[in-house]
Structure 1
């Protein structure tokens, strides 16, 4: 069964900035196993980004494949998201439901402002 995804459209006025450096996304943190993309096998990383529009800002934790990370990415750098999608999720554990939205991009690009 395919995982439902929702393409996230950003306006021309939307600005995004890296809030953290890329950190490995673990499928098994205790054993140091980094999560990989199910289709490509590419290692996955997470980056916190700030999404700013007009008078508001949101923090998004996005998953990025290793080949989609720009060289030299540091907190505070302006970035562009490539193919930003949202994936709703829900889990049932010990009778309790937890749910949320996971964000993913195919790449982050450094934004020179041009």
Structure 2
């Protein structure tokens, strides 16, 4: 499957919504798990600011890579962020988009913060 590494150098990334379990099936509430490790997957919405533009990205992250204390407004760093194009068809309607996945999320300090506070 094709994927594109995303360069987060110089980007400001902030939690927009608290992490929540990723659902495999919204109708049944079935949870999603990583196919390689079996770890539960989480969904995390972040504000991603780079090159003068801000976007809200919905990321998939394995649960072991998500700290318990992430709250909206927390500045974070993303480990191995990738973008994966997807396409599907349902009832004759084609849909496509880009899915984002990171190996881990860690709280970070903004680049402009000084050591003296």
Alignment partner, residue 50 of structure 2? 53
Among candidates 103, 107, 111, match of residue 110 of structure 1: 107
Q: Which runs of 5+ in 1 are unaligned?
A: none
**Number of residue pairs matched by the alignment:** 111
Tell me how far 1:54 sits from its aligned partner.
4.5
Instruction: Report what 2:61 is aligned to.
Output: 64
Judge which range, 94-103 or 46-55, deviates more.
46-55
- Structure 2: stretches of 5+ with no match in the other structure: 112-117
* Partner in structure 2 of residue 22 of structure 1: 19
TM-score w.r.t. the length of structure 2 is 0.88
Paired residues of 2:3 and 2:85 also in contact (CA < 8 A): yes
- Structure 1 stretches (4+) deviating beyond 4 angstroms? none
Supply the distance in 2 between the matched residues of 1:55 and 1:93 (Cα, whole angstroms). 36
**What's the C-alpha RMSD, in Å, of the aligned pairs?**
1.4
TM-score, normalised to structure 1, is 0.90
Shift in alpha-carbon separation, 1:82–1:89, aligned structure 2, 3 A: same
